[in-house]
Structure 1
């Protein structure tokens, strides 16, 4: 059979080839679209950040006392403050000249080392009852509150468990000016709290004057002490615990002017972390920097 229309034959053949070419390009494009890039994945899993803890515990023990306080069960007083609730402390209602007691405090800070600040709060004096002997001694009926100035409230750095005041050693230099080797005759204490030329027994009013602004516990060089535990237990500058003792004594020479008088106060212990803390307790308005 003879093709009577060669132009039509050529046109149809060109269209067919062009169509097949389009299909081929489409196939190539599809192949490029499904190919994968080189890739790799690494990961660090199970990440966890936990805030550290700083937990302070303070124990208070009456380690020695005169016979009156012994008879009142004073030696049985032993309390631990280790919660948010306040602990009721020493309460004595019938102090007379010659009475005395030694209260020792031990401070421990768990998990991390901390700075420790001791402060008095709510210090108050009361004239109480005003009997005739007190009025005669003071020369008027004003009923002054004199117990705070008469009651020796002396801070010592250590106690050797001797059972009496002879076990006290080293007056704290912040509260007292004394030699470490000072020998004190307790039988005849001076009414003003002065023993010899070198020592001064701090009275309750003077002690509050130091502590009311907050006192940061320091080492022998005057640097704030690190109390507690370090991460691996190898830091020699960190003390496991800190202990100090308080001698409360009403000297024999105190007369009738203190009859019926009273004092009351809170003793508050605080701690702050050592790490990243160049100025401990600086953000507290009641903090001071005693030497």
Structure 2
């Protein structure tokens, strides 16, 4: 049976074919919509970089003045900078009443402001030799170590290096020298002869160690933490340590000795409300310096 012999079948087949072509036409129209361009735009920020900052401290110690004996022992030759490597400090034997030395420490914190803490470690007193004059004044043969009690150890804020001696000192640090209740911090400068009167108390080595052994954070005149190398305190912070044995001490310290390490540490100021206590900082949106 052919299409010519069956007109109805021929007619139906044409409709089906036309309908099928219509579907193909719709599919093609859909594909055309899918490939057309929408409105669009593109912006970019390239070469983004985050670099961690640095906090680097150096400490320079200079013996700026001393009595004749310490000078003869080469104490004035001490000018050392600690910046990564441990350096040796003062080493003087045979000190006697009347001897003194003035050591100034310059603390420099680079790049970012930092809080600075000073600590003593390995503070050791030794009775050493115990000759008869020492036994007589102590009234026994126990050979107590007494140098820590009689070696005056005071921190001074200001020093005029042109003086060349203790007369260049002007202000006792009011925060560091706080070990004794009767310390007269308004006292201007020490007696040049190392004489201690009955009113003024100077911090001794034991008391200084009591302040330093747990860490002493450097503070300003008001007792607030002092950021070193911030906008208000740029550059170098300096303080001077006066070591002195007054004439009145006498035989009680014969043969005694003291040794200690002096350690300087710094921590960043930013986001650090409780430095050197290793507590977790509180998040805030104000940022820092």
TM-score (norm 1): 0.85
Q: Residue in 2 aligned with 1:81?
A: 82
Shift in Å, 1:74: 1.2
Cα deviations across residues 141-176 of structure 1 (Å, max 9, x unaligned)? Answer: 211101111111121111111111111111122316
User: What residue ranges of structure 2 are gaps of 5+ in the alignment?
Assistant: 280-289
Is residue 118–residue 215 contact of structure 2 (8 Å, CA) maintained in 1? Answer: yes
Map 1:1-80 to 2 at 5 A.
Answer: 4-80=5-81
2:174·2:221 contact (CA, 8 Å) conserved in 1?
no
Aligned partner of 1:122 in structure 2 is: 122
Say whether the 8 Å CA contact 1:115–1:273 is kept in structure 2. yes
1:260-275 to structure 2, matched below 5 A, reads 260-275=255-270
Deviations 1:62-96 (A, max 9, x none): 0011111111111111011111x322111112112
1:17 match: secondary structure:
helix
Equivalent position SS for 1:159: coil
Secondary structure of the 1:121 match is strand
Deviates more, 1:64-73 or 1:247-256: 247-256
Structure 2 residue aligned with 1:251: 246
Q: In structure 1, what is the equivalent of residue 170 of structure 2?
A: 169
Q: Is 2:192 aligned against 1:186? A: yes
Query: Structure 1 residue 184: deviation in Å?
Result: 4.1
- Asked if the contact 1:56–1:107 (Cα under 8 Å) also holds between the matched residues in 2, the reply is yes
Q: Give the 3 Å change call, closer, same or farther, for CA 17–96 of structure 1 in structure 2.
A: same
Q: Once superposed, which parts of structure 1, at least 4 consecutive aligned residues long, lie more than 4 Å away?
A: none
Pairing of 1:210-289 with structure 2 (within 5 A) = 210-228=211-229, 230=230, 235=231, 237-283=232-278
Q: How many corresponding residue pairs?
A: 270
The 2-side partners of 1:125 and 1:269 are apart by 22
